[in-house]
Structure 1
Amino acid sequence: MLQTLTIRDFVIVDQLNLEFDRGFTVLTGETGAGKSILIDALSLALGARGEGGVTRSGCDRADISASFHIAGLPDLQQWLDEHELPSDDQQLLLRRVIYADGRSKAFIGGMPATVQQLREAGEFLVDIYSQHAHHSLLKTSYQRQTLDLYAGQSALAGDVAQHFHAWHALHERRLAAEQNAAAYADELAELRDQLRELGQLAPVADEWEPLQQEHARLSNGAGLIAGGEACRQILSEGEYSVMPQLSALQHKLQALVELDETLKEAADTLDSAIIQLEETDRSLNRYLQRTELDPERLAEVESRIQALHGMARKHRVRPEELTELMAQWQQRMAELELMVDDGQLAQQEKAAWQTYHDLAQRLSKERQVAAQRLSALISTEMQRLSLSGGRFEVALAEQQASAQGLEQVEFLVAGHAGTVPRPLSKVASGGELSRISLAIRVVTAQQGDIPTMIFDEVDVGIGGGVAEIVGQLLKQLGQERQVLVITHLPQVAAQGQQHLRVSKRQQDGLTLSRIDPLSANERISEVARMLGGVDITETTLQHAAEMLAKA
């Protein structure tokens, strides 16, 4: 759940620190006070697209941080682990900094992140519903997803889609094989010849560079031997070699050390140098003992290099890429053999179809059960929302097999008793759509796993007793989720367990917005303002107090 929200220099907010409780929180305020600023700021912290102009006038950046309690969200924990992002298993901090020039930075748990990662993390934490979000209900894809979520079969629906695509890919390959059988057979024959030729050469991975090095050594064998012997002449074997002279110097210096200890460092350095030179001499001697001219091996290496180079030039690749080319040909040949063998490809296609169809039928049965239950529950909620006699129906129409399954899902509604349910998009007005949307949220709340739901003035277009019922439903929803609602209705505001008020003030010629939690008496005044407008009478205050007491 959302625990805190900190906003700095955002639009008309200079500094804001908010703490949120569980359950149902309402946010109210006069028109133009900036109630939606909270939603806009939180959306940016959750990875929404940022634009210039959101920093407060005269400031170089806006800074927004949101902390969440994340215990009990294993999918989010797994996502954080996969992306190597920090988490203490209890709390997660999301932060967004937006500069006046439009640039932005994102942080998760104090570590730099991408905006896309913010957005992905936010999808585990918060659902935001605005007035316009109701229109998503009109899309059949959203209706299908809602049903599958309610049925608890979202994972099965994903498997159905995956296996449909797998079957379709095999189906397309089989059709292509039938249409291009002759071309595939010719390509397969050519590949077999090329692989046979390349197989005879038998290129080995990573052999090219060692061959080049060995060739350089063998072709320069005489020079290497002569050079090594010359080095040993200088070191120890020649008439005026270095080692005897250094040995004499060592004895002379040692005698001087016995007269003056300060020369010991110089003597030690000389001793170390002599040891190193002796090891160099021994190393050169070992090299010369095992090195000899080998014209036969040189000829073998040169022949191998020429063969690899010739094959590589023939197929327009580098010599070191021959093994990769061979693997590519083998893979392509396996694909062609499958395509040429219509029977084997057809068997795979049939098996893939059967797997898909079995899963799709399972999904259909689950959808049928869930559709009946969801239809009845939402119809019941419609009665509470002054849609008396109205009926909601989840229709499942058989359709050609697709990635979505074997049926089309569509929400139908009858606004009055005796009318035939018709598609939601054709019969629902804005107010009806708002109420039906809320009914769906309430009914499906237990099936979701996102802990926080935010409604931005979704109660527009309703009032009176319906507004009170909407408030009750939102409060009921708050028993399952943390619910935050921006509202202009006193009937809804009265139902809140936590009440925040947005107001504006003038400071140094600037308009600033603030949000304050309200006490019990302050709530009475605010609900009275929502009821009575500018002039608040004693009667209005009593009405507000009764409304809050009843809630």
Structure 2
Amino acid sequence: MLCQLSINNFAIVRFLELDFKAGMTSITGETGAGKSIAIDALGLCLGNRAEASTVRPGADKAEVSARFSLLDIPLAKRWLEDNDLDLDDECILRRTINSDGRSRAYINGNPVPLSQLRALGQLLIGIHGQHAHHAMLKSEHQLTLLDSYANHRMLLDSVSASYQRYKLIEKELKQLQQSQHERIARKQLLQYQVEELNEFNLGEHEFDEIETEHKKLANGTALVQACQHTLFLLQDNEQGAVESVLNLAIDQAQELEGYDTALNSIGNMLNDALIQVQESSSELQRYLDGLELDPDHFAYLEQRLSKIMQLARKHHVSAKDLYQHHQALNQELSSLDSDEEKLDEIAEQLQSCKQGFIAHAKKLSQSRSRYAKELDKQVTQSIHELSMPKGKFVIDIHFNEELMSPNGCDTIEFQVTTNPGQPLQPISKVASGGELSRIGLGIQVITAKKVATPTLIFDEVDVGISGPTAAVVGKMLRSLGESTQVLCVTHLPQVAGNGHQHMFVNKQSKAGQTETSMVPLDKTQRIEELARLLGGDTITSNTLANAKELLRG
């Protein structure tokens, strides 16, 4: 629960340090005194938008801090632990606003983004403002109220998660469909190109092989002549064939060895050379004997090579890279084929995901219908107590599979009849301002009992209510305060008298400056304040007696 609120240089507050207790705390004050200023300051600790105008004139910055006990708030404690912001059984939220409008937020002394203040604040405090009744006219807010009462968070999370999955797959499908025309055109081009290359059927190393063989055949005559001339030099040259010359040299070397054994190696080397020359001659002769200069084969190679060059130019690649280009086109074509298959698969996934979402949404709708009937009875009973004895309240729910949203497929409408014999109609068409306030307050109190938020603030939600109805409202809020900390800003003595404690807001002007203060009242002071609320500035014995009757705390 909220234990303490400290306010420095905020609006017309110079300094306030307020201690709060369990139960219902009534907050009253004169018109314009700033009864809601503490609520506004607390809102900053919960992540509300900060403005430079909230800084007290003449001050450099405003600072607000709120201290909470977490003994009975396991969800908030777990949140702090998950975010490494834990501080035993207490939590301190602090916000500073500079005069230029910049602000900083802290949780347990650690600087944090506003999003974290808001996330934690939702687990600590629920604020019901005086405009909540008007928000109740909107279908989406009606749905939020019903879901808050039903407290079926797991069902809501399941619906939201399945909806997000559906939208993700739907987005992927749309992207594939949007690019389908481009894929079809690309596929047609690829099919033509691949078909042409498939027909030509170039082997992986074929270009290098053709190029080598073509070069050999293109130079066939020169090749034969060179081979023959080389053989002539090695064997047949009458003036000095290499083989004959080497034989003469070997004979001479043998003669030299007789004179000096140191020259033995010369003969060995010349013998080796002769063997190499003879083997070269034999190899060259075999090559020449096997050389075939087939003009038909040469024409085939010419045609094949020409086609390779033509296709390479057509596909803007080198002849050497044509084979790899062919494989890449094949792979891209296969990929486009798989995209078509993927399109069908995703369409099936989307349909399956939609059915899964609808199944979750139906469970949520069934839960809403069940709790709606329960809430119908309680709100109807509440408005009977709030001076609408013939009123009837009904929540109308319609399930439509085509209205998919993160909140399911339900459309919801609060319907009411305030007079006997009148049919149920939408609350926006039937209820007057006062009736709307009473119905809205009844719903807020009933739903607040079901929500786990440990502190509830009602900021002048009793506008438009008076007399016996106000007394019933006071009893409702006090009853709520038995199990939940309730802070109630009110101008009605019948409501204020039901508080377990009472705080008074006062505004004073000194030396040209205005300051607001808020102080707790003892029993005598409470009677005087209730008397003021009953009778205005003139307090009589009768108003004091009436005030004593109203005081319950």
Instruction: Tell me what 1:525 maps to.
Output: 528
Inter-partner Cα distance in structure 1 for 2:100 and 2:173: 55
Instruction: Tell me what 1:402 maps to.
Output: 404
Q: Does the residue aligned with 2:551 lie in a helix, a strand or coil? A: helix
Deviation at 1:436, TM superposition (A): 1.2
Deviation at 1:190, TM superposition (A): 9.9
Deviation at 1:159, TM superposition (A): 1.9
Inter-partner Cα distance in structure 2 for 1:457 and 1:387: 21
* Structure 2 residue 496 is the aligned partner of structure 1 residue 493: yes
Give the letter aligned to residue 81 of structure 1.
Answer: E
Inter-partner Cα distance in structure 2 for 1:441 and 1:140: 16
Inter-partner Cα distance in structure 1 for 2:181 and 2:97: 61
Instruction: Tell me what 1:436 maps to.
Output: 439
* Structure 2 residue 358 is the aligned partner of structure 1 residue 366: no
Alignment of 1:69-84 (within 5 A): 69-84=69-84
Inter-partner Cα distance in structure 1 for 2:79 and 2:403: 33
* Structure 2 residue 345 is the aligned partner of structure 1 residue 344: yes
Instruction: Tell me what 2:50 maps to.
Output: 50
Instruction: Tell me what 1:392 maps to.
Output: 393
Deviation at 1:17, TM superposition (A): 1.0
Inter-partner Cα distance in structure 2 for 1:371 and 1:10: 42
Q: TM-score, normalised by structure 2?
A: 0.70
Instruction: Tell me what 1:265 maps to.
Output: none
Inter-partner Cα distance in structure 2 for 1:179 and 1:19: 62
Q: Does the residue aligned with 1:76 lie in a helix, a strand or coil? A: helix
Give the letter aligned to residue 5 of structure 2.
Answer: L
Instruction: Tell me what 1:19 maps to.
Output: 19
Deviation at 1:507, TM superposition (A): 3.0
Give the letter aligned to residue 144 of structure 2.
Answer: Q
Deviation at 1:333, TM superposition (A): 8.9
Inter-partner Cα distance in structure 1 for 2:164 and 2:541: 68
Deviation at 1:189, TM superposition (A): 9.9
- The question of whether the paired residues in 2 share the 8 Å contact of 1:157 and 1:363 is answered with yes
Deviation at 1:441, TM superposition (A): 1.8
Residues 1:331 and 1:347: Cα distance change in structure 2 (over 3 Å): farther
Instruction: Tell me what 1:233 maps to.
Output: none
Q: TM-score, normalised by structure 1?
A: 0.70
Instruction: Tell me what 1:445 maps to.
Output: 448
Instruction: Tell me what 1:6 maps to.
Output: 6
Give the letter aligned to residue 115 of structure 1.
Answer: L
Q: Does the residue aligned with 1:95 lie in a helix, a strand or coil? A: strand
- The question of whether the paired residues in 2 share the 8 Å contact of 1:66 and 1:95 is answered with yes
Q: Does the residue aligned with 2:156 lie in a helix, a strand or coil? A: helix
Deviation at 1:117, TM superposition (A): 2.2
Residues 1:334 and 1:523: Cα distance change in structure 2 (over 3 Å): farther
Instruction: Tell me what 2:414 maps to.
Output: 411
Q: Does the residue aligned with 1:387 lie in a helix, a strand or coil? A: coil
Residues 1:346 and 1:37: Cα distance change in structure 2 (over 3 Å): closer
Give the letter aligned to residue 99 of structure 1.
Answer: N
Inter-partner Cα distance in structure 1 for 2:387 and 2:450: 25
Residues 1:353 and 1:499: Cα distance change in structure 2 (over 3 Å): same
Deviation at 1:535, TM superposition (A): 1.2
* Structure 2 residue 511 is the aligned partner of structure 1 residue 508: yes
- The question of whether the paired residues in 2 share the 8 Å contact of 1:181 and 1:340 is answered with no
Instruction: Tell me what 2:90 maps to.
Output: 91
Inter-partner Cα distance in structure 2 for 1:115 and 1:398: 37
Give the letter aligned to residue 465 of structure 2.
Answer: I
Residues 1:7 and 1:177: Cα distance change in structure 2 (over 3 Å): closer
Inter-partner Cα distance in structure 2 for 1:479 and 1:171: 50
Q: Does the residue aligned with 1:124 lie in a helix, a strand or coil? A: helix
Instruction: Tell me what 1:104 maps to.
Output: 103
Give the letter aligned to residue 116 of structure 1.
Answer: S
Inter-partner Cα distance in structure 1 for 2:526 and 2:80: 40
**1:482-509 deviations in whole A, cap 9, x for unaligned?**
1101111100010000100011233333
Q: Does the residue aligned with 1:393 lie in a helix, a strand or coil? A: strand
Instruction: Tell me what 2:151 maps to.
Output: 152
- The question of whether the paired residues in 1 share the 8 Å contact of 2:471 and 2:495 is answered with yes
Q: Does the residue aligned with 2:518 lie in a helix, a strand or coil? A: strand
Give the letter aligned to residue 44 of structure 2.
Answer: L
Inter-partner Cα distance in structure 1 for 2:444 and 2:136: 11
Deviation at 1:516, TM superposition (A): 0.7
- The question of whether the paired residues in 1 share the 8 Å contact of 2:365 and 2:399 is answered with no
Q: Does the residue aligned with 1:48 lie in a helix, a strand or coil? A: coil
Q: Which of 510, 534, 537 matches 2:537?
A: 534
Residues 1:27 and 1:331: Cα distance change in structure 2 (over 3 Å): farther
**1:62-81 deviations in whole A, cap 9, x for unaligned?**
11111011234333234323
Residues 1:181 and 1:53: Cα distance change in structure 2 (over 3 Å): closer
Q: Does the residue aligned with 1:96 lie in a helix, a strand or coil? A: strand
Inter-partner Cα distance in structure 1 for 2:103 and 2:470: 40
* Structure 2 residue 429 is the aligned partner of structure 1 residue 426: yes
**1:140-174 deviations in whole A, cap 9, x for unaligned?**
11111222222222331232233234234435655
**1:249-304 deviations in whole A, cap 9, x for unaligned?**
xxxxxxxxxxxxxxxxxxxxxxxxxxxxxxxxxxxxxxxxxxxxxxxxxxxxxxxx
Instruction: Tell me what 1:481 maps to.
Output: 484
* Count of residues in Structure 1 that have an aligned counterpart in Structure 2: 416
* Structure 2 residue 466 is the aligned partner of structure 1 residue 463: yes
Q: Does the residue aligned with 1:440 lie in a helix, a strand or coil? A: helix
Deviation at 1:332, TM superposition (A): 13
Segments of 5+ residues of structure 2 without an aligned counterpart are 195-203, 205-315, 317-330
Deviation at 1:130, TM superposition (A): 1.6
Residues 1:466 and 1:331: Cα distance change in structure 2 (over 3 Å): farther
Segments of 5+ residues of structure 1 without an aligned counterpart are 195-199, 201-313, 315-329
Residues 1:101 and 1:169: Cα distance change in structure 2 (over 3 Å): closer
Deviation at 1:48, TM superposition (A): 1.0
**1:503-522 deviations in whole A, cap 9, x for unaligned?**
12333332211111000111
- The question of whether the paired residues in 2 share the 8 Å contact of 1:388 and 1:417 is answered with no
**1:102-121 deviations in whole A, cap 9, x for unaligned?**
22222110112223322222
- The question of whether the paired residues in 1 share the 8 Å contact of 2:183 and 2:336 is answered with no
Q: Which moved more, 1:376-385 or 1:360-369?
A: 360-369
**1:509-546 deviations in whole A, cap 9, x for unaligned?**
32211111000111111100111111111121111112
Aligned alpha-carbon RMSD (Å): 2.9
Q: Does the residue aligned with 1:395 lie in a helix, a strand or coil? A: strand
Residues 1:446 and 1:541: Cα distance change in structure 2 (over 3 Å): closer
Inter-partner Cα distance in structure 1 for 2:332 and 2:82: 32
- The question of whether the paired residues in 1 share the 8 Å contact of 2:449 and 2:480 is answered with no
Inter-partner Cα distance in structure 1 for 2:364 and 2:179: 37
Deviation at 1:336, TM superposition (A): 7.4
Residues 1:18 and 1:182: Cα distance change in structure 2 (over 3 Å): closer
Deviation at 1:340, TM superposition (A): 2.7
Give the letter aligned to residue 157 of structure 2.
Answer: G
Q: Does the residue aligned with 1:402 lie in a helix, a strand or coil? A: coil
- The question of whether the paired residues in 2 share the 8 Å contact of 1:456 and 1:486 is answered with yes
Give the letter aligned to residue 481 of structure 2.
Answer: G
Inter-partner Cα distance in structure 2 for 1:172 and 1:6: 49
Inter-partner Cα distance in structure 1 for 2:486 and 2:513: 32
Q: Which moved more, 1:528-537 or 1:126-135?
A: 126-135
Give the letter aligned to residue 96 of structure 1.
Answer: R
Instruction: Tell me what 2:324 maps to.
Output: none
Alignment of 1:132-531 (within 5 A): 132-171=131-170, 173-174=172-173, 181=180, 183-184=182-183, 337=338, 339-341=340-342, 343-399=344-400, 400-403=402-405, 404-531=407-534
Instruction: Tell me what 1:288 maps to.
Output: none
